[in-house]
Amino acid sequence: MQKKITIMIYNILNGDSLACSFPDARIEGDIIVVREGLIDGDLSGSNLQDFWQSRAKYMGVSETEYHGKVVNEFEKIMNAPDNSEFNLWFEYDLFCQVNMWFVISIIDSLPIKKKVFAVYTSYLDKTSKQFWNGFGAANSDELKVCYAKRISLSEADIHLGQGLWKAYKNGNLEELTNLSKNQSLAFPYLEEVVNAHVDRFPKDGTKGRPERVIEDITKNISTDFHKVFKEFWNRESIYGFGDTQLRSLYDKVMHCR
């Protein structure tokens, strides 16, 4: 008699906001919450232990606190059994994509049989204001639609995700740009997103694209941070910046006025 294979299903969610609304959709599987923002800060460390230390220090929290809140969730991925299925609930924007590349790099290193799927905000049209970051606005039925339209990642896709993370972590913009030319359903707006990242670091030493946009907003619309934040999101939601990221850029721009 053939032994029945038990499949563990994990829904890896990008942040606590989605984790709050997700259970209402009654989608099968355990929840893992990614509580990182790897778009920003120190990424140094030749192994995960050193990397966690760098991140805790950058965030200004103790290693114990960082471990309890952040690393514990990643360890659920690292301890997944054979024949696990991972559903990656990440949005199209740069903030989410970078986190997703990191998660894929962890999954890629697991010595187990696995299936990996990308779940995007496929209920939205690209003309929608929420297009780049639309899980927050999604109701249970819309989350079910996203799940039904999930995209299976091939071995090549998983290796691409691993490569993207390595290039990103090492600050290798040329390699990142080369990798972004890969056509893959699993990374539908890759070139656009990578270009947005590369635009943060102009070769000629001038201000990056986000700073230039903030400068324009503070000159022509308002210097009030909340208004700047809202307008920046209207123009550049591809970055997916939160308050923390935008505040440091805003302070930099205001300081140089």
Task: Locate 209 and state its tokens.
Answer: 């694209």
pTM to 2 decimal places: 0.94
3-class secondary-structure state, position 55: helix
Given a cut of 70, whether residue 2 has pLDDT beyond it is: no
pLDDT of res. 127: 74
pLDDT of res. 257: 73
Where in 75-215 does DSSP place strands (E)?
84-89, 114-119, 151-152
What is the average per-residue pLDDT within 177-192? 96
Given a cut of 90, whether residue 6 has pLDDT beyond it is: no
Q: Give the tens place of pLDDT for each residue, 31-77.
A: 999 999 999 999 999 999 999 999 999 999 999 999 999 999 999 99
Q: Say if residue 256 is exposed, middle or buried (CB neighbours under 10 Å; 0-12, 13-18, 19+).
A: exposed
DSSP state of 181: T
Q: Give the tens place of pLDDT for each residue, 91-136.
A: 999 999 999 999 999 999 999 999 999 999 988 877 777 777 778 8
pLDDT of res. 126: 77
Mean pLDDT of all residues belonging to the chain: 94
| Rounded distance between C-alpha atoms, residue 114 and residue 7, angstroms | 9
Dihedral, CA of residue 185, residue 189, residue 195 and residue 196, to nearest 10: -140
pLDDT of res. 3: 61
Given a cut of 80, whether residue 82 has pLDDT beyond it is: yes
CB 200 within 8 A of CB 186: no
